[in-house]
Structure 1
Amino acid sequence: MSDNLKQRGPGNGDNGGGGNGPNPWMKSLLIWVAILLGLAIFVTMVDGRQAGAGADQIAYSTFLDKVDEGSVRDVNISRDIITGTTTAGEKFRAYPIADATLVPKLREKGVTISAKPEDGPSIWMVLLYQSLPFLLFLGIAFFVLRQMQKGGGANGAMGFGKSRAKLLTQKEGKVTFDDVAGIDEAREELTEIVEFLKDPTKFARLGGKIPKGALLVGSPGTGKTLLARAIAGEAGVPFFTISGSDFVEMFVGVGASRVRDMFEQAKKSAPCIVFIDEIDAVGRHRGAGLGNGNDEREQTLNQLLVEMDGFEANEGIIIVAATNRPDVLDPALLRPGRFDRQVVVPRPDIEGRIKILEVHMKKIPLAPDVDARTIARGTPGFSGADLANLVNEAALMAARKSKRLVAMAEFEEAKDKVMMGAERRSMVMTEDEKRMTAYHEAGHAIVSIHEPASDPIHKATIIPRGRALGMVMRLPERDSYSYHRDKMYANLSVSMGGRIAEELIFGYDKVSSGASGDIQYATGLARDMVTKWGMSDKVGPVEYAQPEGESFLGYSSSQPVRMSNATAQLIDDEIKGIVEGGLARAKHVLSEHIDQLHLLAGALLEYETLSGDEIKKLIAGEDLGRPDPGAKASVVPAAGTSIPKTRRPTGPFGNPTPLGA
């Protein structure tokens, strides 16, 4: 296996295993020690004249005095220095001067005279002196380049074209298909690939061929990467992982080189799996840009297409890729022979959410009142990542309260925080603002109770959260994949309930801007009914909705809908008529049950939050079973009372997520 593929697991020197070769840090240290030692030897050789430093240095005049005294036993005369020994055995040295009388004087005193010829440097020493600086420079340059290319060159200065794929072989923290819940169909599609890798003869004897590629398509957080990790844990074959952005560089040809290198390494480990995350970074539709289309990204894509299914077959290499934007991928990448299977990883349904919650709830201590089904009913549209975040938020809230168990109350609070934001307890509202908010939310709730097709109410609150001053949450009994006309009309009337309640209680001039989000939701629903779903008798079953195509610099790949002015006017009239019909239905319901509106608004002012069961008890005249938090003023405004116009944030029914949508 090439060293540019970072292998994780036992046997690697980096993680304490019995790796091959010396430790890279120790190797670098030894190189620097060798360089410093060479410098020290060079300095010592250049300064070799200090060899006689062990003798006492004396002046030349003192040396002559010793000779005259007869205390010098022997001398050694060279061109640069005179060394000798006294009769007392002491060694000395002196620097000579031009003196022709020195030798006769020494002979007169009986001093033993010797001479040492001056040895010139050898040819090898001269070559060493001349070449050592150059060799030292080359050594430092070579060491720096090796450090830049360490690890096979994938991250080095000379390793632009090396693949950045990582080989995963870790044993700890392994993910299997047992850890993947809520997406059973996608798991079964990939389980077949794993079985083919484990026992290819089971399929080959009937002429079946292993799929060359599987594309995981789904919204963010639905578990595409988790599925890939589960394949790595189940397959028992080498698993290479890389991101699509790792192929793209500013240098031309680098991405194509990395693709070639990745497939070369994969061939050495075949059969194996190569996982490319976010493949839309490199696999976008060719020719979508302006000017010359032969850019770096398209060259990388062309090389990827050739490697996956070109003249040279890559047997035993399965490509698994993930994206949340399949619409932007090039058609040549999606054809059979490259990505034979497109595995849709959808958002989980209610049963899938229950399984996902149970997987994450195993990691925390739960109170007996926790019901995963109730939480799953209240989280329609949540992905696996959203549910994991919900469980984590509930655990954090319980920890802040110093609890030993995570109860249902923490899950409800965490769900509200994830969906709408944290409670704004510090927000100061006047009594008039609270009263208008209470009537607004009570209007939504009363209309919902008396609409047969509406979903049951889960809770109503006037506690500000995020951008909403209050909200009414309804929980469907089950996930809905299609909506009927009666439920759409019910949702329209419920959305208008808050505005009608303000108008009935506070007057026409005191209607606030708080219903802006409700109006936006109702208008969008009515527009879809007319232009998409053919629920207008006058317009008919004809689609007039604008296509949702990807645009580039203002250019849309889909043609806009062409219609006459008369048709556009008819559509606008029908949309207005449907919304005003919901407004009329809400006004009729609230006018007939005005006493229930007052009763529910007063209870919201007292308790701030009421559950669906408590609202039913309140309407039926039963006791809520709660302690009275204190007497409140009458919720019915007195005649002539001036109620200031409030500016409530947007959100249908006070809730960022449309109820029933």
Structure 2
Amino acid sequence: MSDNREPEEQPNPWMKSLFVWGGIFLALLLAVSMFGGSREAPGTTIAYSDFKERVESGAVEQAAISPDVITGTLGNGERFSVQRVEGDDRLFEQLDAAGVDYTGEPAEGGNVLLMILIQTLPFLLILGIAFFALRQVQKGGGAGGAMGFGKSKAKLLTEKQGRVTFEDVAGIDEAREELQEIVEFLKDPQRFSKLGGQIPKGALLVGSPGTGKTLLARAIAGEARVPFFTISGSDFVEMFVGVGASRVRDMFEQAKKNAPCIVFIDEIDAVGRHRGNGIGNSNDEREQTLNQLLVEMDGFEANEGIIIIAATNRPDVLDPALLRPGRFDRQVVVPIPDIDGREKILAVHMKKVPLAPDVNPRTIARGTPGFSGADLANLVNEAALLAARRNKRLVAMQEFEDAKDKVMMGTERKSMVMTEDEKKMTAYHEAGHALVSLNEPASDPIHKATIIPRGRALGMVMRLPERDNYSYHRDKMHANLAVAMGGRVAEEIIFGHDKVSSGASGDIQYATDLAKNMVTKWGMSDKLGPLMYEQSQEGYLGMGATQRTMSGADTNKLIDAEIKRLVEEGLKRANDILTDQEDKLHLLAQAMLEYETLTGEEINQLMKDGKLDRPDAPSGPIPVAPSHGSAVPKAGRRFGGDNEAPQGA
């Protein structure tokens, strides 16, 4: 994703350091070996005159002559050594005359170079260590140098790391078209400048996690073929004050040298939050970093040819000065894909997978509402892994269905041993959810019901909407409250008041949260009116914390009473349905005990005909006589699939 100027291949810093220190260690060993004491000659030390006399008398049998010492063996086998005297030119003539076998050569020439090397080696060693340390201190790289913590950690992506284009981005056509203009600016700036247009300085990608913000930014660089620097918002902030601002300055200096280029800041909310909301005064490290970023993006110095692209899933926490035109000129929303977008995303990821003829991306897209691009990529990968475990050569539709159930509802816990009473309690609980859902017109259709433990749940009813929903109506919310209470009501009807289990804890939490939002945020209480009584708070309360804006005692009491009323109305609606259709409740629960998992179509057929048309169905009607034995109370079963988020299991 860079231009034709291919960056130089940088050596591995760890290997370079290893070679440097290895060389220093070898030099030290050489110095020790050279200076490590005198080489003591073996044998008896004799005087040089005595040695000469023994040579003349024939007592010397062998000699080894070095520049400083003469060693050898006498005729009786005794070893000797003698310090050589310089200037004795007749020594070799005497040895030849006496027939002594000698080796070695006279001290001449190369000895001087060796002595110079020995004398200068310590100084060379000290200079080398000093040069290495100085280079580390003055190094220009980011984390490589000892003083490099003030340098930018932005990485330059090249085509070696995989070039991404708009063909690899699917399902977010509107966002892609909006960013296509930036690509055209980078390719042909004169086309716009001759009409007075200026290149955008920045684009903020806003969207839920997994929607493809980072992939979209890489595609812009891939299409424009310009240098692409990437950095995370958390890379700016360190414990040292001023480091973040220094890294911002260095990042823009690098970008100016490679202009025109793109700088991508991922998770910019780590450094771009509202000033004044953090702990400490306005001079803290994060705010200094943000101030420097604001100045660099639109200050006195013009940064021509540098386009900043940032991504976040929390635009509400960003500082207003960061979002104004001239810094981030445009905000591009990267949404959760609709059914057509999901089909295109699946087609992109399925190119890498050998598919069976029965695989239909449109069918899979219809069954995955609310899935992001990352969720769909994970779905395709899970299906491929399932096919590999089953020793298949092609990935069939069955693998995609099983992978979808695994992603949406969790992995089957087949090794979990449940007693018969627990299975029966779970079957009636899930049958209660399913039966209330069938009798609530505003409820989403049932996709699947199971009493096989999945994830943290002992059983689950999964519902999927018929189409993508972008808003929810009052009647649907009341239907969801009734469906949520269906499991608890079924337990009480069948097993009695004292045998109600803790398995409905997740249902109660869901119903309470839904009723609370209806009253405090969505204005669906006639007594309280269309007012917001609760809003999310930032700062000390942290992300996701809420606080009531009208905190009067009477108002709070009325809010709590309305929440309780809405949940109890859902409980009453579920009780009326299950009491009137108790025979169908028994029928559905017994079928779930028999088959463990039923699809939505099978549940509808069972309610209509009283039997199931499937190969493993027993002959005759399904027995419906319930057993009112005791059940072991349990925790952890969830109201699966009845959350508003279609993928929430």
TM-score (norm 1): 0.82
1:397 pairs with 386, 396, 410, which one?
Answer: 386
Q: Verify: 1:445 aligned to 2:434, yes or no.
A: yes
1:572 to 2:560 alignment: yes
Give runs of aligned pairs for residues 225-244 of structure 1, distance below 5 A: 225-244=214-233
Larger of the two Rg values belongs to structure: 1
Q: Following the alignment from structure 1 to structure 2, what is the Cα–Cα distance between the partners of residues 577 and 31?
A: 75
Please state whether the residue corresponding to 1:469 is helix, strand or coil. Answer: coil
Change (3 A) 1:582 1:361: same
Deviates more, 1:326-335 or 1:138-147: 138-147
Query: Is residue 233–residue 265 contact of structure 2 (8 Å, CA) maintained in 1?
Result: yes
Residue 488 of structure 2 corresponds to 499
**What secondary structure, in the 3-state scheme, does the structure 1 residue paired with 2:609 have?**
coil
What does residue 516 of structure 1 align with? 505
Deviations, residues 38-86 of structure 1 (Å, cap 9, x unaligned): 9969988999999xx9xx99852242466699x9xxxxx9966756244
Q: CA deviation at 1:490?
A: 1.5
Sequence identity (%): 67
1:225-624 → structure 2 map (5 Å cutoff): 225-544=214-533, 546-552=534-540, 560-621=548-609, 624=612
Of 217-226 and 620-629, the range deviating more from structure 2 = 620-629
Q: Determine the C-alpha separation between the residues in 2 that align with 1:596 and 1:281.
A: 54
How far has the Cα of 1:215 moved from its partner? Answer: 1.2
Choose from 138, 147, 159 the match for 1:170: 159
Q: Residues 333, 153 of structure 1: CA spacing in aligned structure 2 closer, same or farther, 3 A cutoff?
A: closer
CA shift, 1:198, in A, is 0.9
Q: What is residue 184 of structure 1 aligned with on the other side?
A: 173
Say which SS state the counterpart of residue 311 (structure 2) adopts: strand
Instruction: Give the Cα–Cα distance (whole angstroms) in 2 for the partners of residues 462 and 377 of structure 1.
Output: 24
SS at match of 2:536: coil
**What is the identity, as a one-letter code, of the residue corresponding to 2:220?**
I
CA deviations 1:392-411 (Å, max 9, x no partner) are: 11111111111222223222
Deviation at 1:337, TM superposition (A): 1.0
User: How far does the alpha carbon of each residue in 1:468-513 deviate from its partner, in whole angstroms, 9 at most, with x for none?
Assistant: 1111111111111111122122112212222222222222322222
Letter paired with 1:89 = D
Cα shift at 1:549: 1.2
- Paired position in structure 2 for 1:213: 202
Mapped partners of 1:175, 1:329: distance in 2 = 29
Kindly provide the CA deviation profile for residues 353-399 of structure 1, in whole angstroms up to 9, marking residues without a partner as x. Answer: 22212211222122333333333333333221111111111111111
Q: Which runs of 5+ in 1 are unaligned?
A: 1-5, 16-21, 72-76, 94-115
Change (3 A) 1:57 1:86: farther
Query: Is residue 421–residue 632 contact of structure 2 (8 Å, CA) maintained in 1?
Result: no
Work out whether 1:60 is the aligned partner of 2:49.
yes
Q: 1:89 aligns with which of 91, 96, 106?
A: 96
Letter in 2 for 1:407: A
Structure 1 contact 57–92 (Cα < 8 Å) conserved? no
SS at 1:604's partner residue?
helix
Partner deviation per Cα, 1:448-471 (whole Å, 9 max, x = no partner)? 112211111111111111121111
Compute the displacement of 1:33 (Å).
7.0
The SS at the match of 1:586 is: helix
Q: 1:467 to 1:655 in 2, by over 3 A?
A: farther
In angstroms, what is the RMSD of aligned CA positions?
4.3
Query: Per the alignment, do residues 633 and 60 of structure 1 end up closer, same or farther by CA in structure 2, a change over 3 Å counting?
Result: farther
Give the letter for the 2:567 counterpart.
V
- Match of 1:547, SS? strand
Deviation at 1:151? Answer: 7.8
Inter-CA distance 633–615: structure 2 relative to 1 (3 Å threshold)? closer
Whether the 8 Å contact between 2:157 and 2:229 is mirrored in structure 1 is yes
Shift of 1:594: 2.2
User: How many residues are treated as equivalent by the alignment?
Assistant: 616
Counterpart Cα distance in 2 of 1:27 and 1:514: 60
Asked whether the equivalents of residues 423 and 466 of structure 1 are also in contact (C-alpha less than 8 Å), the reply is yes
8 Å contact from structure 1 (residues 8, 170) kept in 2: no
SS in 1 for 2:237: coil
Q: Is the 8 A contact 2:13 2:144 kept in 1?
A: no
Counterparts of 1:140-159 in structure 2, within 5 Å, are: 140-146=129-135, 152=141, 154-159=143-148
1:316 and 1:128, CA in 2 relative to 1: closer, same or farther beyond 3 A? same
C-alpha contact 1:286 1:293 (8 A) present in aligned 2: yes
Once the two structures are superposed, residues 238-273 of structure 1 have per-residue CA deviations (whole angstroms, 9 ceiling, x without a partner) of 211222222223333333222222212211221111
Go from structure 1 to structure 2 and tell me whether the alpha carbon gap of 1:60 and 1:261 turns closer, same or farther (over 3 Å shift): same
Unaligned runs of 5+ in 2: 61-82, 101-105
Distance 1:558 1:601 in 2: 40
Change (3 A) 1:403 1:40: closer
Change over 3 Å in CA distance of 1:60–1:92 after alignment to 2: farther
Q: Secondary structure at the match of 2:447?
A: strand
